[in-house]
Structure 1
Amino acid sequence: MVANEMNANYQSFGDPMGRSDVASNGGDEGFHLPPILLQYWYTALRWRWLMAAIIAGCVVLGVIITLLMAPLYTAKTQIQIDRQQKQITKVEGIEAEGGSQDLEFYATQYTLLKARPLAERVASDLRLYENPSFLEAHGVDQEVLEDNDSGKSEAELRAENRRLVVNILLDSVEISPIRASKLVDINYTSRDPALSTSIANQWATAFIALSIDRQFASTSDARNFLESRLANLRERLEESERQVVLYGSESGIVALDQIRDSNGRAVANRTLTGSSLEQLANSLNQATAARIEAEARARSAGDATSESISSPSLGSLRQQRAAIAAQNAKMLVQFAPEYPAAIELREQLEALDAAIAAETNRIKKARAQEYVEASKRERDLQVQVDRLKQELDTQNQANIQYAIYQREADTNRELYDALLQRYKEIGVAGTVGVNNIAIIEPAIEPNEPSSPNLLINLVVSILLGVGAAAATAFALEQIDEGIREPGQVEALLKLPLLGITPMVEGDPREELADVKSNFYDAYFSIRSSLAFATNHGFPKSIAVISTRPAEGKSSTAMALATVLGRTDRRVLLVDADLRSPSIHGFFDAKNDRGFSNYLAGDDDWSQLVQETNSKNVSIIAAGPVPPSAAELLSGDRLDQFVREGLLKFDHIVIDSPPVLGMTDAPLIARAVEGVVYVVQSAGAAARGIRASVKRLNMANAHIFGVVLTKMGSGSRGYGYGYGYGYGYGYGERYGEEEQVARRA
């Protein structure tokens, strides 16, 4: 039953989520820290009043600042910025185009909208440098600028005034791109709504003008560059063409025309020699054909030649002979051959045959003469062709260098023509003034102020207050090194946690009198934990020690003695805090004689024992305050008292002085079986507790564990009545369950 009680109590205070990592060895495993969010929540609860005061102060300060702020008016102008320019002409600009450069382009435009040159142009266009109302609209006193106590010149004052105006413009303008669009809002804020509207509209107009000016400037630079390049290319082109002409003249190359490819480059030259050779070659071919034809006609003979057949004279002679031959044949039919008329006809035939033969021979001689003439003409043409071929071969060798000069001239001409064309295009593009920025919605004069906004300022004040309060609580939490949570005991002190006790506002004796109270339940759990601290159960003799006074040490000693007495154990509670006694006050006992008397030499300590109204609990008061308590405790009488006391009592509980600043506690801890170390929640610093524990360890004291007291004040996570207390099982008083059943 005791073991079950102890485990249940450990589980209640071990993990806020209801988990328990504590073994059955009495708490050697210790407690774990709660989740980090719960730690923050407990910190906020601990410093809730300070945090509430900080937040309230920030809210009040925000309201005051809001009421004291001058109203500001914001005017908005919306413009559209296109990535591609409007192509008024088909002439391309000088800027490279690329869809992947959109982000870079728009980021550049947003930066240019906040550039100083743009603010200077707006100030110049609206004459804000000489406008006192502009400074008044931004809360700047004009008299401060006019007061020249620094000894600056007028020029320096004007320059300073210009810088001030430009800085005010840049600080008051806000560029707000609309996500996933080409639209940009230009917001300007001042105390004067009309001025805000004027500046917002002028800002957009000036930005468009500056954009066009930059285009003009860029095309002007490009034109200047192209002009210098054109001049150089013109000189190179003239020089290369001069070389072509000179080399052609020196080499005897007379170019009639040039053959060019689709790109306009010269691939071949048609020279005079080549043309002459071409003509003579054609003539030679014709002469050869004529010679072959004449030779063929010359070799043919007889009347079967084409000339004989087609000759009119031969045809006439043949007709006459045929007619006379017909007459002669007719005549021979009637007359004898010797008839004179027949003889005359025969003579005519012979004359005609002779004429035909003579004409045929003439044609044959004409063919022979034609062949001779054709052969001579062919030979002459062949000689001329051979000579021109030699000349053309010589020119072709020289034409290699000529072609090099020609290609260089062609290249220079192409570069010159391309740059000249580009120069003309840029000139046209620059004069057109293409613009890719348009005003979509001009600013209108606002009717209501944009700030201060009380609701927004309150929200901001609350957020700032929460941040400041959280930072303050965190800083105080870091400064305060006290142990607040059960899980910190083992982590910081390397000691097991025996139990925790709640903060008691009234008399702890009254809480102990109620066995159903959380206070009694806590100490009963501690008694159960100590029952497992040794192999023989609850230690025979223990000392209750703390780091400093007022940590609940005496209350713990009294409570442990009371709980032990109720378990039918005879307990002797000894007040060894000789410097500041308190045990007798819990039991309304006397303190005229006590433990100091025994230590000083009174041998009969039993005469010093006083009975109490608590069951089985006897006490020995501290007695008179000695001059040196450490000297009394350093003798052998303390060890003797413990040995003799255990012969008459089952347990001895000694209320020891605090450790820090005194040597009493280590002397007492050495004489008893073990020590119960009391630590107040959010009390002594962890480093002080560790130093005290170290002193006890140096005295070879055995520390059973730590009791964390007054948990209600420093920690909310393990406070009683906050969901993790010892109220389990006592939700209804004894007898109430039966009454509820009867009423039901």
Structure 2
Amino acid sequence: MADNPGLNAPASRALATAPAGTTALGFPIGPAMAAPAREGQFGLFEIWRIIVKHRWVILAGLVVGIGLAALATILTTRMYRATATIEINAESMTMVDMGDGQKAVPLTDPQSLQTQYGLLASISLAERVARELNLTAREDFADPAASPQSKLDQAASKISTNLKVEPVDDSRLAKISYVDAEPALAARIANAVAEGAISSHIERGLDSNAYARQVLEKRITDAREKLEDSERKLVAYAQQQNIVSVASGGEDSSEGQASQSLDAASLAAANQELSVAQNARVAAQARYNQARATTTTETLQNPTAQGIRSRLAQLRADYQQKRNAMKPDHPEMVDLQSQIDALERDLRRESTSVVSALAAEYRAAAAREAELRGRVNRLRGAVLDLRGRSIQYNILQRDLDTNRQLYDALLQRYKAVGASAGTGENLISIVDPAKRPGSPFKPDPIFNGLVGALLGLLAGLATAFALEFFTNTVRKLEDLEAKLKIPALGVIPKVEKGVLLTEALANPRSAVAEAYSSLRSAIQFATPHGAPATLLVTSAGASEGKTTTSLALAQNFARLGFSTLLLDADMRHPSFGVESSEGHGLSSILVGASTVSESIIRTSIPNLSIIVAGKLPPNPADLLAEQRLPQLLKELGAWFQIVIVDAPPVLGLADAPILASLCDRTLLIFEAEKVRMSVAMNTVDRLRAANARILGGVLTKFNAKTSGYGYGYGYGYGYGDEQQGIAKTKIMLPRHK
């Protein structure tokens, strides 16, 4: 043990034969060893975690909401709703038709229905109901000390407030509902509103008919006077202009109108003939000009010309045929040439005669056009003269016809209004009268309970999320990476109640043992040689699981064949003890009272040795700051493959930063949902300020089902258990026999 008491042969061979670029166990060195830097995500899983964690808060909110809803239901006055169903018929408006008298025109349906809905909910109808039912005498509707008009206004206002008119979809039905504390009164008021609407409509019809008769009488008088005046003006103007009315174009047509229509027809016919003549003249002129310039269709189709042309073609063919055998001066050839010349002269004369015929046709067409043009000009003058004299006459005639039609229509409308007075169709009819309700409309226990439950549930959820986000603690691995910027190496579950931690570590199949095995593998992946030479294990405060983590890692590395030393560097609250240690320990080594060999104690666990803290010195920080500690760590690193140093907490003490600056790697332990984020950040900052090489962080005592947060945290860490009131028990390790 003097040379290397902890290094065994298998582990030495593993270190010596490990290939370059791999750890001692064959793990690759490189980016795969670094913990991935992930940002914190807030997804469905996180929401479910918060809900499960604060389930009692949410359940309390739900119970409180239901309770408040039940209380409100009990204290609320019972209200009854009575409903009457009415039918609103299509409304039509009688308008004046200039030809057939009166004409019923249906109003736009949505417009008519909305008007009736407004009338049903009007204040005037509410006042009518209040008067008919004498509601002004009831204290719950009007103040007894108020004036009569004020009582009526108060009663009508209450009726209008509690009244509701609801149309039935896709129909002309409407429901009139009234809500009141008395069920019988609610039914009476709903029926009174429906009956009052019918009576109001009848009264409005009678009033409108009386008013219509008065208006029509005045308009008829005015129309009669205008009709007589227009007749006198028409007769006077006809006498002045010598215009005599002739009933040739209809019963009301005048002579001027008939003559005007005849002249206009003659002018139209003449214009049509002129257009035809112009087209004929243009066509004749075109044929004549074409015939003068070249051979035309008329020339080609002339029978005489066709015969000459046929004979000429035959002679020319014979001439060409005989030309090969005879000379041109041959008598037969001379005779043929003479015949050809004679036929060509005949053809030219025939063509000249065709052109002459086309010229004669063109001159006839031009003369016809000139004659028709003169006739059109004469008719145009006559028409313009008649129109000029008939303009005023036609104006007066139209005025007379309009006044006569208006007068006749007003007379017919006046007779129709007189005949239909009081017999108009009632637009509103009652389908189902309101009946006394048997059960209250408000409050609705089920609805109130659902609303209370929903509001209570929302309040509980809001409280749960507020507790979650305003209590800023280290809760999950993502917090280590995203907020503390250190790799997350593992998570250790919380031991169930009734199970000792030592028993959980002793059982290799337990969740805690599996978690520490996973942490050991993560450390191996994160270090070049499978394990750091010296690994410092510390935490922000006390009781976060650093001592348990140190022991579990030491046991795991020892089981893998690593020569492992567990160094208890907590000389304020020693965590480990060994029977018959004879006072040797870290403190005695640092003061020179013991040697390293004397202080190393082999345990019953193969490959695992331990150096306890020893006697408690009065100044642990000063003792750790001496030059002996770096030499000791270097010497231990040469004897053992891995030295795990169990250090005091970081905050409030100088021990951990001193040790972290001397060790190869530092492992930070955080208890889940206990350490505040500010405390964790301060811990990381202090270690980095001491040039510590932080390997990563571990989350301990993690409750998968989530538990409540710890709100208080003490930083004190004095001497002895009695000074701090901490019931801390040393972990006793058996010696190697």
Counterpart residue identity of residue 471, structure 1: A
Per the alignment, residue 194 of structure 2 pairs with 204
Q: Which moved more, 1:49-58 or 1:437-446?
A: 49-58
Per the alignment, residue 540 of structure 1 pairs with 533
| Percent of aligned positions that are identical | 33
Q: Is the 8 Å Cα contact of residues 256 and 386 (structure 2) preserved in structure 1? A: no
Per the alignment, residue 247 of structure 1 pairs with 237
Using the TM superposition, give the Cα deviation of residue 47 of structure 1 relative to its aligned residue in structure 2, in angstroms. 1.4
Per the alignment, residue 501 of structure 2 pairs with 508
**Which whole-Å deviations, capped at 9, do the CAs of 1:466-509 have from their partners, x for residues lacking one?**
33322322332332333444455545545443221111234322
Using the TM superposition, give the Cα deviation of residue 521 of structure 1 relative to its aligned residue in structure 2, in angstroms. 1.0
Cα distance between partner residues in 2 of 1:698 and 1:226 = 105
Cα distance between partner residues in 1 of 2:107 and 2:474 = 69
Q: Aligned with 1:706: secondary structure?
A: strand
Indicate whether 1:527 and 2:520 are aligned.
Answer: yes
Cα distance between partner residues in 1 of 2:233 and 2:678 = 100
Per the alignment, residue 674 of structure 1 pairs with 665
Indicate whether 1:96 and 2:107 are aligned.
Answer: yes
Of 370, 390, 396, the residue aligned with 1:399 is 390
Of 52, 58, 63, the residue aligned with 2:70 is 63
Using the TM superposition, give the Cα deviation of residue 513 of structure 1 relative to its aligned residue in structure 2, in angstroms. 1.6
Q: Which moved more, 1:536-545 or 1:658-667?
A: 658-667
Q: Aligned with 1:676: secondary structure?
A: strand
Indicate whether 1:583 and 2:575 are aligned.
Answer: yes
Q: Is the 8 Å Cα contact of residues 273 and 391 (structure 1) preserved in structure 2? A: no
Counterpart residue identity of residue 48, structure 1: R
Cα distance between partner residues in 2 of 1:606 and 1:225 = 130
Per the alignment, residue 126 of structure 1 pairs with 133
Compared with structure 1, are the counterparts of its residues 396 and 37 closer, same or farther at alpha carbon in structure 2 (3 Å cutoff)?
closer
Using the TM superposition, give the Cα deviation of residue 92 of structure 1 relative to its aligned residue in structure 2, in angstroms. 5.2
Structure 1, unaligned runs of 5 or more? 1-22, 136-141, 149-153, 275-389, 717-744
Q: Is the 8 Å Cα contact of residues 578 and 626 (structure 1) preserved in structure 2? A: no
Using the TM superposition, give the Cα deviation of residue 48 of structure 1 relative to its aligned residue in structure 2, in angstroms. 1.8
TM alignment of 1:616-655, pairs within 5 A: 616-621=608-613, 624=616, 629=621, 638-655=629-646
Using the TM superposition, give the Cα deviation of residue 197 of structure 1 relative to its aligned residue in structure 2, in angstroms. 1.0
**Which whole-Å deviations, capped at 9, do the CAs of 1:518-551 have from their partners, x for residues lacking one?**
1111101110111110221122222234344443
Per the alignment, residue 186 of structure 1 pairs with 176
Q: Is the 8 Å Cα contact of residues 73 and 190 (structure 1) preserved in structure 2? A: yes
Q: Is the 8 Å Cα contact of residues 91 and 429 (structure 1) preserved in structure 2? A: no
Of 471, 477, 502, the residue aligned with 2:468 is 477
Cα distance between partner residues in 2 of 1:231 and 1:588 = 135
Cα RMSD of the aligned pairs, angstroms, is 4.9
Using the TM superposition, give the Cα deviation of residue 75 of structure 1 relative to its aligned residue in structure 2, in angstroms. 1.8
Compared with structure 1, are the counterparts of its residues 562 and 273 closer, same or farther at alpha carbon in structure 2 (3 Å cutoff)?
closer
Cα distance between partner residues in 2 of 1:198 and 1:246 = 72
Indicate whether 1:268 and 2:279 are aligned.
Answer: no
Structure 2, unaligned runs of 5 or more? 1-29, 261-380, 708-737
Counterpart residue identity of residue 618, structure 1: I
TM alignment of 1:117-196, pairs within 5 A: 117-132=124-139, 134=140, 154=146, 159=150, 165-166=155-156, 168-196=158-186
**Which whole-Å deviations, capped at 9, do the CAs of 1:249-293 have from their partners, x for residues lacking one?**
4x24354566776xx9x653469999xxxxxxxxxxxxxxxxxxx
Q: Is the 8 Å Cα contact of residues 630 and 662 (structure 2) preserved in structure 1? A: yes
Cα distance between partner residues in 1 of 2:676 and 2:698 = 15
Using the TM superposition, give the Cα deviation of residue 704 of structure 1 relative to its aligned residue in structure 2, in angstroms. 2.8
Q: Is the 8 Å Cα contact of residues 584 and 598 (structure 2) preserved in structure 1? A: no
Q: Is the 8 Å Cα contact of residues 66 and 457 (structure 1) preserved in structure 2? A: yes
Per the alignment, residue 306 of structure 1 pairs with none
Using the TM superposition, give the Cα deviation of residue 427 of structure 1 relative to its aligned residue in structure 2, in angstroms. 7.8
Indicate whether 1:560 and 2:567 are aligned.
Answer: no
**Which whole-Å deviations, capped at 9, do the CAs of 1:163-186 have from their partners, x for residues lacking one?**
654554345344444444433333
Cα distance between partner residues in 2 of 1:526 and 1:678 = 12
Cα distance between partner residues in 1 of 2:392 and 2:431 = 65
**Which whole-Å deviations, capped at 9, do the CAs of 1:591-629 have from their partners, x for residues lacking one?**
988656766787856666566665514143386475684
Compared with structure 1, are the counterparts of its residues 683 and 80 closer, same or farther at alpha carbon in structure 2 (3 Å cutoff)?
farther
Per the alignment, residue 57 of structure 2 pairs with 50
Q: Is the 8 Å Cα contact of residues 591 and 623 (structure 1) preserved in structure 2? A: no
Compared with structure 1, are the counterparts of its residues 407 and 71 closer, same or farther at alpha carbon in structure 2 (3 Å cutoff)?
closer
Per the alignment, residue 305 of structure 1 pairs with none
**Which whole-Å deviations, capped at 9, do the CAs of 1:318-371 have from their partners, x for residues lacking one?**
xxxxxxxxxxxxxxxxxxxxxxxxxxxxxxxxxxxxxxxxxxxxxxxxxxxxxx
Cα distance between partner residues in 2 of 1:434 and 1:589 = 118
Per the alignment, residue 468 of structure 1 pairs with 459
Of 415, 422, 434, the residue aligned with 2:425 is 434
Q: Is the 8 Å Cα contact of residues 534 and 664 (structure 2) preserved in structure 1? A: yes
Q: Aligned with 1:500: secondary structure?
A: strand
Q: Aligned with 2:254: secondary structure?
A: strand
Counterpart residue identity of residue 570, structure 1: S
